[in-house]
Amino acid sequence: MSVWVVAEHRNGAMREVTYELLSHGAALGLGPVTALVFSGPGDGSALAASLDGKAPRTLIVEDSSLLGFNGTAQAAALATLISQSTEPPKVILGAHSAAGMDWAPTLAGKLACPAVTDVVALAAEGASLAATRVVYGGKLNSKVKLGEGPSVIATIRPGSLEEEPSLTPMTTTIETANADIPAELGKRFVAWVEELAGAVDISQADILVSVGRGIQDKENIDVAEALAEALGATLSCSRPVVDINWLPKER
């Protein structure tokens, strides 16, 4: 048995959530963890280097269709790798992120396999996995069980690790693989766009002061701002607050 972790990176930098995923993967106790780095030609080794010592094995897949981020290409590559491997991974872990929301369901469709998204806790149970999720806008927790696979997919909500990712230092073997991604996927990455100058990545903040619908009035946001400042925290908000333009979207 083994666990595959899909590394998440953007614009040449590994995203923090990848380390969390490696930590989650190791904790499952379902065999060794392999980190998979999907990248454009020539970008893989630098990205893999940032994972050095954090997983026993890193697999680099480079292809021009993987430049930037292309969930369809990544799902196609994963499907091929899984079908080629003598022992397919029991679990494929990814982040519940903008990227994860694109490639993971696509892969689930390709493999016709069980999948669960936006998981806050994950554990091996019997021949498969049990996951805890937050549903109904955070008002309830739900527990779900995945089918047996052979492989199953789970995406994990960033920041849901109880502690800092702690990975015992280890030697990493770096391998490369060719995934024979079809030339015509019908979907092409065009560019990263830095939509909002001075944006804040709230998934990376230590302390958040978060504003939701309950704030009721735009003026009340001042309270949250003052508190955030006093705490040295980052101000964030839920989507409805953005949608009525009370706070900019990068929050």
Partner 1 sequence: MKIAVFVKHVPDVAEADLEVAADGRTVKGGELPFEMNEWDRFALEEAVLVKDSLGGELTSFLIGDEAAEESLRRCLAVGADRAVRVWDDGLAGANPFALTAAMRGAIGEDEYDLILCGAQSSDDGYGLGGPLLAEALGVPSVALVNKMKVEGGKVLVTRELEGGWGEEVEVDLPALVTIQTGINEPRYVSILGIKKARKKPIDLMDAVSVGITAERLATEKEKLSLVGIETPAVGEGAEILEGSPEEVAAKCLALLKEAGGVL
Residue 187 interacts with partner 1 (CB under 8 A): yes or no = yes
Range 147-176, binding partner 1 (CB under 8 A):
147
Residue 192 interacts with partner 1 (CB under 8 A): yes or no = yes
Range 21-60, binding partner 1 (CB under 8 A):
none
Residue 40 CB neighbour total at 10 angstroms: 17
Residue 191 interacts with partner 1 (CB under 8 A): yes or no = yes
C-alpha 138/C-alpha 123 separation (Å) is 21
Name the minimum Å distance from CB 171 to partner 1. 31
Tell me which amino acid residue 236 is.
Answer: S
Cβ(198)–Cβ(81) below 8 Å: no
Nearer to partner 1, 24 or 133 (CB): 133
Q: Which stretch binds partner 1 (CB under 8 A): 33-41, 44-52, 59-67, 187-195?
A: 187-195
Q: How many amino acids of this chain bind partner 1 (CB under 8 A)? A: 74
Nearer to partner 1, 86 or 139 (CB): 139
Residue 183 interacts with partner 1 (CB under 8 A): yes or no = no
Nearer to partner 1, 33 or 95 (CB): 95
Name the minimum Å distance from CB 248 to partner 1. 8
C-alpha 3/C-alpha 11 separation (Å) is 26
Nearer to partner 1, 1 or 98 (CB): 98
Name the minimum Å distance from CB 20 to partner 1. 14
Q: What is the DSSP letter of 173?
A: E
Question: Which pairing describes strands 91-95 and 234-237: parallel, antiparallel, or unpaired?
Answer: unpaired
Residue 218 interacts with partner 1 (CB under 8 A): yes or no = no
Instruction: Tokens for 233, please give them.
Output: 């925290």
Residue 242 interacts with partner 1 (CB under 8 A): yes or no = yes
Cβ(55)–Cβ(33) below 8 Å: yes
Instruction: Tokens for 97, please give them.
Output: 């992120």
Q: Quick one: which of 52, 175, 180, 201 contacts partner 1 (CB under 8 A)? A: 201
C-alpha 21/C-alpha 93 separation (Å) is 7
- Nearest partner of 80 among 129, 38, 41, judged by Cα: 38
Range 91-150, binding partner 1 (CB under 8 A):
97-99, 101-102, 105-106, 108-110, 113-118, 130, 133-147
Residue 204 interacts with partner 1 (CB under 8 A): yes or no = yes
Q: Which stretch binds partner 1 (CB under 8 A): 21-29, 47-55, 160-168, 179-187?
A: 179-187
Nearer to partner 1, 26 or 154 (CB): 154
Nearer to partner 1, 42 or 138 (CB): 138
Cβ(94)–Cβ(153) below 8 Å: yes
Cβ(91)–Cβ(41) below 8 Å: no
- In the block, which residue shows the tokens 């493999």? 111
Query: Quick one: angle between helices 100-111 and 71-84, nearest 10?
Result: 40
